[in-house]
Amino acid sequence: MTLLLSRNDVARLLTMKDAIEAVEQAFRQLARGNVTMPQRTVIRVPAHGGTHLGMPAYIGGEMDALALKVVTVYAQNPARYQLPTTIGLLVLSDPRTGAPLAVMDASYLTAMRTGAVSGVATKHLARPDAKRVGIFGAGVQAQTQLSAMACVRALEGVWVYDSDGPKAKAYAEQMTKTLSIPVIAVATAREAVKGMDIIVAASSAAEPLFDGAWLEAGQHINGIGSHAPHTRELDTQTMVRSKVFVDSLDACLVEAGDLLIPMKEGAIGKDHIRAGLGEVVAGMKPGREAANEITVFKSVGLALQDASTAHMVYQAALKQKAGVEFAF
């Protein structure tokens, strides 16, 4: 029998703390060579302004998880059809037999695992005393990003900037209630950078969100919103001034405009990337080495994040007898 898990099931079963733990384990296995993860397939649908992605991964070692996620990204969905921008479905298979263990909604899971990877990066790269967060973007992803930051650092205040002012204010009100942390909507991008310990870029912007010259010693930046070679949230100056870490070197050299554009300009080379996140998690390479360093974590999103998080959801579903069993 296969277990069918709805969005509500996944949301009830998966906490951010659990998602961070699962993703951290997956990156450790990646560094140890226990992950098989082909480059995701990308189908552009220009007639409708959408992108269709296929993301398979097998995580060996202690986790032993096999999954395929199909996810679509349609930026105009909320305005045109009252649908989410990102819609996903995941099939979790038994690595021993290939039989389907579960089919689950992956929209909520995608938002959670993307927040979780920034949580892992912040845990290992931000200063231990980091407590002020500036966040760009006020959508669903900005919610899970902030939830992850709150799991790994004792936050005292958050400043959010979005080009849609009312949306930023609504986000600030919601997240203040959700996390019991003061969240303030600000009117300018500069206000979300100045004095911050952690900066999160979680937008749909195609051009840089702020001037890298504004960055201050000791800051950590998570860049997670862009995943196409011609778009970026972080400018060349930001990359030049920072120690750069990535989720996957191979994936970022194909998809991360934040890195590819400065490389094309000749401002940085491939060797400017210090390490993959898994190498830092596994203790194979150093992360932050001094309090005054500026660090950047660039993520384009990996299938191992989905497989590990889905595996944790499935285990929780079995324990709590959640979902509906069915046979194909």
Active site residues: 69
| Closest C-alpha among 90, 50, 89, 55 to residue 73 | 50
The vertex-117 CA angle with 2 and 114, nearest 5°, equals 60
DSSP 3-state of 187: coil
- The number of beta carbons lying within 10 Å of the beta carbon of residue 46 is 7
Quick check: 157 and 146 in contact, CB under 8 A? Answer: no
| Closest C-alpha among 130, 169, 123 to residue 23 | 123
Quick check: 262 and 14 in contact, CB under 8 A? Answer: no
| Closest C-alpha among 70, 221, 207 to residue 133 | 221
What is the Rg, in whole angstroms, of the alpha carbon atoms belonging to the chain?
Answer: 19
| Closest C-alpha among 115, 84, 37 to residue 304 | 37
Query: Which tokens in the block code for residue 200?
Result: 């999160």
Give dist(CA 163, CA 102) in Å, integer. Answer: 39
- The number of beta carbons lying within 10 Å of the beta carbon of residue 207 is 10
